[in-house]
A and B are shown apart, each in its own frame.
Chain A
C-alpha cells in the first residue's frame, strides 16, 4: 500500500468472457471473496462462480404491486362510495367489476416503479464516480473487454500476491487503483 493513499483494489482485464470466467474461478479457488466483475453484458454463470446472492428486486416489486393494487381499489371505493357517492347508470356505489381496470393499471404502474427504482437503489445508482473508473482501460468494460476486480478489503488481499495471481490466470493491464 502506497503511503497516504487508500487502495480500492486491483483490476485485471480479460479479452473474452471465457477468460474472465476462468480467471474468476481461479481467484475464488484461491479464497478471495471481495471479487466483482465489470462486463459489457451479463456473463451468465459468473454469478455462481462469484457466489453473488439472488436479486432482491422481486420483493420490492411485490411491495409495489400490493401498494398499487390495494391503494388503487381503496381510492376508487373511498371516492365513489364514501366521500361523495353519486348514483351513476344505476350501478352500485361499490361497483367492483368497473373498478378492475384502474386497480390493475395502478398495480402495474407501482410494480414497475418499484422494479426500476428498486434496481437503482440496490445498485447504489446514480453514483457518478467510482474508484474503478481510474483504471486506464476500464472504459472498455462498456465496449468489448471483461474486468475482474479484487477489492483491498478482502482479508487475503496483498498488493503483490493478488497481482501475481491475476497475471497467472491471463489477466492483462493489471492496475491497482486508489479508493
Chain B
C-alpha cells in the first residue's frame, strides 16, 4: 500500500492539527531525569517571593473566616442575610459552587483516564488537589448552616439517646453521603497517584526531617513490577468508580432543589445541567490555577499551550451545554403551561434579580464563544481572564437559582429581596483563603505534576522504541 504523507511540524513543538499525528506531550526535548528535576526542583528549591505574598494574603483570609464563623456559631445564623422567604442564601450558593469546582479534577483524573487522554497527565495532579480543597470548602457551608454545629453528627446513622435515625428519604441526607463519599474517594485517588512520586521525593530528599516524612508517606514504594501491576489495576478501578461517582454527586446536589416543589427548582433537567456546569466551572478554576502555577514555577514544558487548548475546547463544549440548559429551562417553563413556572423565569430575566441573571448569561454563555477561534484558545491572557469570568458567572448561576426562586414564590404577599451581610461575604472570602492556603502548601510540599505518569506517556517509555530514535536520557 502506498504510504500516506503526513505533514511534519515545521517548528519543533508546534501542534500539528492532523489526527494521524500526535504532538508530543512534553516539550523542550526533556528526558526522564529532566522531568524529575523540573518538578522536584519546585519542591526542593526556595519558594518564590510571589508564593509568600499569596500565602500571607490567604492566611489573612483564613483569619477572616475564623472571625466570621466564630461569630456565626456564637450568635446563630441570623447574622447571615437569611430571612423568610429566602432561607437559603450565600451558604448554599457557595456550597454548590465549590462542589462544582471540584468536579473538573475528577473529570480530568478519572474520565479522561478511561478515555485514554494522555494529555491529562500534565494537569491531573493539581486538578485533583484542587478537587480535594474545593470539597473541603464546600463541606464547610452545610455544616455551619445547620446552626447548632455541635449536633452535625445527627446527619450520620449513629445511635443516640432519642433512638431516632436520619431520614434516608431526604435529598439533604443524600448530600451528606454523596459529598462525603466524594471527598473520601477523591482523597484516596489523589493519594494513590501520589505514592510513586512521594517515593521519588524520598529518594532525593536531603536534611533530617524531609527523608523521614516523605519516606513515611511513600509507604516504602520501590517501583517493583509486581507492585505496579496491582497499582495500575487499582488506579483503573478507582477511575472507573470515580466516573459514575462524580456524575452522581452533582446530580444529588441538584436533587436538593429538584425534589422540592419550588418554581424554577422542580425540573428534571437539573441533574445533567448541574453536572455540565460543575465541569465547566471546574475547568475554569484549573485554568486559572494552572496559568499562575506554570508562570511562577516555570513548568511550561510540562503544562503546555496544547493542554490549555484542549481545556478551552472542553470549556467551550460544557459552556454550550449550560447555555442550552438555560434556554431549555425557559422552553419548559412555557411548554409546561404552569403559570408559576412561567412567572419565575420571566422574573429571572426582567425582575429584581435581572442584573444577576444577565451577568450569568454574559459570563457563562457569551464569554466562552471566543474559544471558537484557535488564536484565542492559545492566548494565555485571554484564557486567564475568561476563566475568572466563567467562575464569576457560575457563582451567579447558583445565586440566581437559589435567590430568585425563593424570593418570589407562590404567594406575592410573602415576596422579599435577599441581601447578604458582611458575615456572608466574609465567610465566602474566608473559604477562598482556605482553598488557596491548602493549594499553596500543596505546591510547596508535593509534586504538582504526576511525574511517574508523565514519564509513562513519553515516547522514550515505549520498550519497543528503536534505539536510533532514543530520546535524550541523561
Contact = CB atoms under 8 A, between A and B. Distances in A.
Interface stretch (A53-61, A155-163, A171-179): A53-61
B174 A16 contact: no
B473 A144 contact: yes
Given A45-B463, A58-B237, A123-B231, A102 B200 contact: no
Interface residues of B, number: 72
A53 B67 CA distance: 57
A144 B32 contact: yes
Nearest to A110: B181
Given A16-B470, A39-B225, A55-B229, A99 B463 contact: no
A30 to B, nearest CB: 18
B148 interface: no
B168 A80 contact: yes
Given A17-B460, A55-B230, A125-B227, A144 B467 contact: no
Contacts of A17: 460-463, 465
B31 interface: yes
Contacts of A91: 169
Interface residues of A, number: 71
Contacts of A108: 181, 185, 241, 244-245, 248
A2 interface: no
Contacts of B245: 105, 108
Contacts, number: 219
Contacts of B473: 15-16, 144
B233 A119 contact: yes
A98 B168 CA distance: 7
B230 A123 contact: yes
A136 interface: no
| 10 nearest CB pairs, A to B | A144-B32, A119-B234, A79-B165, A126-B219, A139-B203, A41-B456, A55-B233, A42-B228, A21-B463, A98-B169
Given A83-B163, A142-B452, 8 more contacts: A43-B463, A86-B164, A101-B178, A108-B248, A116-B188, A123-B226, A125-B219, A139-B204
28 contacts: A17-B463, A18-B464, A40-B200, A41-B196, A42-B229, A42-B231, A54-B229, A58-B233, A58-B237, A84-B164, A95-B169, A98-B169, A99-B168, A102-B177, A104-B244, A105-B248, A108-B181, A108-B241, A111-B241, A116-B191, A116-B192, A116-B238, A126-B216, A140-B203, A142-B223, A143-B32, A143-B204, A144-B473
Interface of B: 31-33, 36, 157, 163-169, 173-174, 177-178, 180-181, 184-185, 188-189, 191-192, 196, 199-200, 202-204, 215-216, 219-234, 237-238, 241-242, 244-245, 248, 252, 255, 451-453, 455-456, 460-465, 467, 470, 473-474
